[in-house]
A = this chain, B = another copy of it.
Amino acid sequence: MNPQEIIINYARKLVPLTDEEGEQFAAAFKEQRVKKRQFIIQPDFTAKSRYFVLNGSLRAYVIGEEGQDHTIQLAVEEWWISDYNSYIFQQPARMFVIAMEDSLLFQLTHEQESRLKDENHKFETFFRMLAERSVAFMQRRIISSLTQSAEERYELFVEKYPAMAYRFPQYVIASYLGMTTEFLSKIRNQRVKPKS
């Protein structure tokens, strides 16, 4: 399947599109290849685009006061990524977004997105649904961080996203779940051998 087909299929999961509308939608995107460790968003620069992952994986993170790194979002195939606070309000970013592997992205600029939304009610609906899904996803993450222990959060994560749990290095998972890599290591090894 080519990139255009992928994004059209994806969009059709949320809104019905005619073939013509599908093409129009896909035409707003631009392919972008990035290499491992390449940044696509950096603090102080405004995020001009959001990205749909066709292939590969990325990670969004912030650096805390004492230089500690906290993963805000992960993305693999068919996920979106950006610094949304920056993208939505077109203000300077606070986050880094970096490629974890050589990746192929579909870039959508803020301008192109605006144009799409103006052109067709269906596209506006699509982005509304996308945002609502993010709200639901983030709310689940907030509930998890309030109600569960480090171990429970990890178990839940592995259960829901087994593909990610072994695709990303451990320090990334740990900082996504809000714990240190050492502690995650302990959890992982405890699970294997409760008895010698």
Q: Is the interface of A mostly helix, strand, loop or mixed?
A: helix
Q: Which residues of B contact A135 (CB under 8 A)?
A: 84, 88, 131, 134-135, 138
Contact call B84/A143, Cβ cutoff below 8 A: no
| A: interface residue count bin | 20 to 34
Copies held by the complex: 2
Cβ of A150 under 8 Å from chain B: no
Using CB atoms and an 8 Å cutoff, list the residues of chain A in contact with chain B. Answer: 62, 64-65, 68, 70, 72, 84-85, 88-89, 94, 117, 121, 124-125, 127-128, 131-136, 138-143, 145-147, 175, 178
Contact call B72/A142, Cβ cutoff below 8 A: yes
Do A141 and B142 form a contact, CB below 8 Å, given A85-B136, A88-B136?
Answer: yes
Contact call B146/A70, Cβ cutoff below 8 A: yes
Contact call B139/A138, Cβ cutoff below 8 A: yes
Contact call A128/B124, Cβ cutoff below 8 A: yes
Closest to A64 in B: B147
State which of B62, B121, B145, B175 has its C-beta within 8 Å of the C-beta of A124.
Answer: B121
Q: Determine the distance from Cα of A88 to Cα of B145 in the docked complex, in whole angstroms.
A: 22
Closest to A122 in B: B124
Q: Determine the distance from Cα of A78 to Cα of B133 in the docked complex, in whole angstroms.
A: 23
Do A70 and B132 form a contact, CB below 8 Å, given A117-B125, A121-B124, A124-B124?
Answer: no
